[in-house]
Amino acid sequence: MLDYPAAPSDPVDDDADARTEAFLSRYLARIGHAGPVAPTLEGLAALQAAHIAAIPFEAIDALTGAGIEIDAGAVDAKLIGQRRGGYCFEQNSLFLRALLAIGFDAEGLLGRVRWMLPDDAPPTPRTHMVVRVRVGGRPWLADVGFGAAVPPQPLAMDSEEPQQTRHESYRVVRHGDAWQVAAAIEGAWRTLYRLDHLSPPPIDYELGNWYTSTHPDSHFRHQLIAARTTAEARYGLRDNRLTTRLIDGRVDRRYLTADEIERALSEIFLLPVRPHWRAAIERAATAEIAG
């Protein structure tokens, strides 16, 4: 199950405080954040930007059949200790625990991915985790786990106006008890996901992770996917196609050989490539991608 630090009002012992402090120190070192941390909007934005630049989005363990665990120990060992990346359940659970350790008022939310689907498409499973953070009573969406379209900064959840970021503009629109999050991409608003308004129990994350990492319909079981967003560019790898989107609007797409995919995973996505990934990499190099 997901584990979170005790709330500030809960009694904690010195050992728990020391463990939380050690975790936060390791996390901040992992994302390269050396400045002060405080539960402010500016602090949240700085942490979010540092996280998505340092820890890549990837689901290679689902592709290879190694499996993905989302308990705190497994996530810390993989994303911090092994300097791997992860997908939403790993990324956002790690980010949430770090925010709580700093003193933010934060909680997880769960939603349905609608990326690349028509508006009238049937409901999808609840397989995307994000973080809702309240700063000064105002709710903000913080997401560090949505691949190449991840919001690069916190998004206000109480405004339906377009919100410009260093990359795309985003919009958070309320639909009854849910929110719809969209990004302006290539001149059109494209829905990313729809979020439920209530924070779910941990078992719902476990179920979503199980589906996403093991179900035969999950695209993570069939495609090599990696992404990383910096202040200057977005990098996305889908099988053998590498896309680079610069903040000045330029877009570069290249098709890679197996050796080039392996090099991109290491040099662009900052991953410690494992020998047992090679079979998946070679399959990705022969993929035919539509669109």
Catalytic site positions: 88, 128, 143
Contacts of residue 201, defined as CB under 8 A and 6 or more positions apart, other chains included, come to: none
| Strand pairing class (126-135; 138-142) | antiparallel
Distance (Å, whole) CA 204 – CA 126? 8
The DSSP annotation for 81-104 comes to IS---B-HHHHHHHHHHHHHHHT-
Strand partners, 171: 182
Say which residues have a Cβ less than 8 Å from residue 100's Cβ, sequence separation at least 6: 4, 5, 7, 106
DSSP per-residue codes, 5-50: PPPTTS---HHHHHHHHHHHHHHHHHHT--S---SSHHHHHHHHHH
Return d(Cα 290, Cα 274) in angstroms, integer.
28
User: Given the structure tokens 């093991």, which residue do they identify?
Assistant: 214
Residues 112, 142: Cα–Cα separation, whole Å? 16
